Structure 1
Amino acid sequence: MSDTVVFLGPTLSRQDAGRALGAHFLPPVSQGDIISVANDRPRAIGIIDGYFQLVPAVWHKEILYALDKGIPVVGAASMGALRAAELDAFGMVGVGRIYQWYRSGFLEADDEVAVIHSPSEIGHRPLSEAMVNIRATLERAVRCNGLPTETALALLEACAATPYWQRSFDRLLADGKGLGLSDAELTALERCERVDQKKLDALEMLEWMARAPAVDAATPEFPFNRTSKFDRLMDQDTCLARNGDARITVSVLADFYRLHGQHLFPGAKSLALARAGGRASDVVDALRSEGRLDAVLSEAMARDRSDGLRPCEGDDQAVLERYCRQAGLKPDQTARDLGRTVGLDDGERFIERLHRFTFRSP
């Protein structure tokens, strides 16, 4: 693995990114990922893309944690530009035009960089257009194609009123026709070269990182205060392995073990701890000390049905009955009561984990 880690998604293909910087590329960053990576002490961390809305977004505190450990963190283009604009006073490095737009206060809305995209299996391909790209394209149309400034501003207003997942250049042209643009204005818009500002900024960041062997970021001294909430995040959400966009975190693995550990290591002390409701991090530590962590993690990854973007769902009653048959439990109990029998008190989480991890008895 490269000693530089970059979180990347729809902004730039991994092939293009790899040509600019030799790095270990991970899917878009989400809550807990920076902690997980920082604990491996990489040379530097780059953030381009990140999840939000459907998946908890990366915490500012995680980035401060990495900076406090002396690990440079660089951001650009998308989530990276947002977090860099918010944290550059603490030592995070921002690169590119979009970062400058947020840093100066010219942009404030998070959805300027938001897009929807395909899953990792087909390369996180963008399925909508970021408003920052539309903004940069309209700027070029004004500068190079004679589009009136007033027209560009009207189009931007229409774009801002459109949900981010529906934004596209085709939609922009349709908005132009709906606004009654003249034939000359529509021609100027159609013929304008489209600007992918996010891609340009991402490449600039990667090239900057490649040119800076030590990524010498001047990190100001600041007191990093650990809070109970941050400690809980470390205990629960540290990532142990990835299946595409899906992550096996400490808490997820502990839940898997609570559900199916009896089929793997009956009688193990780690299983007794898990089913007694022990802390997830303690369960993982116990598995590690017993030399069983890799085996449980491998089994969890083999059974994982998650795509990382939404809860696993299905016929709750059917999955409950199947699990009860396998585990020798009475099927007439509530999901909450069944969960409690294996140390998982949250009934909804119990059901979601059953849907996520299929397990067939030998």
Structure 2
Amino acid sequence: MKMRSPSTIATLALLPALFGCGDAPPAEPPLSEEALAAVASDAGAPTEDLARQVDELFTTEGLGETRAIIVMADGKIAAERYAQGYGPETRFVSWSMAKTVTAVMIGMLVADGRLRLDESAPIPQWQRPGDARGEITLRHLLQMRSGLRHTESGDPPYESDEVRMLFLDGRDDMARWAEEQPLEAEPGAKFEYSSNTSVILADIAARVLTDSKDPDVRRKAVADYLEARLFGPLGMDSMVPEFDASGTLVGGSLIHGTARDWAKLGEMLRRKGRAPGGEQLVPRKWIELMITPSPRSPQYGFQTWLNREFRQPGSDVTHTLIPDRAPASLFGLSGHMGQFVWVSPSQRVTLVRLGHSDSAQRSVLKGEMADVLELYPER
């Protein structure tokens, strides 16, 4: 038997490692000081992993422009970062995240005994004898199944009922324009995502809070109610709601606030309506209704998106958060061009992402956001 020299044996022992080098994944680049500084020392997740995932939301190509990220874990800021030109004092427009604020306001008015969920929605012109719109309830409106004629997105854009309401023939009195639309389906029978419906809800709130038709009085009544009952108790000092010329809150799309204040709202929802000090601002039961699947749209509750797969009949569009990557209990606020507040109760996490991303970019973006959530175990 031929004996091998010690040097030959050593070389052979190294061969598997040498041949495996070509298959080894490339080393991850070192994190910048900015990336590491964005993460708290007690983030509830591995510091470098969280810093890297947050960094990728700002630096990965194909995601659009991320302008702000906040991760709340167990009620504390675990990570916070802004793009150049933005910061903690920057107010970001809500777009459709405003819808969830509108639903919270309606819930408080129901709790106050001033509205009824399953009675005819109190719109005067719908109460005329023989008007089938009188069958529309508050629940129908909250679940986007009023049956009112509506096209959310049009091509060209001016064929969109939302665009017409916000910027064209409906802009001075948005609620009246939205409420004048005829039925295209039986109330309750069909899900139809509608920013105009949220303005109708905001108008209902104004009618409940004041009998006046004076725009300034209506504006003040709603703004004061939101401040006293929601924004003030949560310390959401930056919030600026917008109103149309008739004094109706643009409750489907135009509320401005800082990333931190949007995170505070998400945390209130995660705590089932409680403020950080324990005060019950919104009934727990109402929050549970907000995140209960609608019978016509399991991915939607009361003006709030749920983490369930759904394909609108006759459409290739699915309205989801990210059901294959996150807990079923995840729910969220979603706004135009990638404004997100994701709330994951089972992980005790709220994730805020604000920025500017088109439809294709948002698809990739949500995967990157899921990477952040996956750093936190369910409990």
TM-score, normalising length: structure 2: 0.24
Q: Which has the higher contact order (CA 8 A, sep 6+)?
A: 2
Q: Per residue, is there more strand in 1 or in 2?
A: 2
Higher-helix-fraction structure? 1
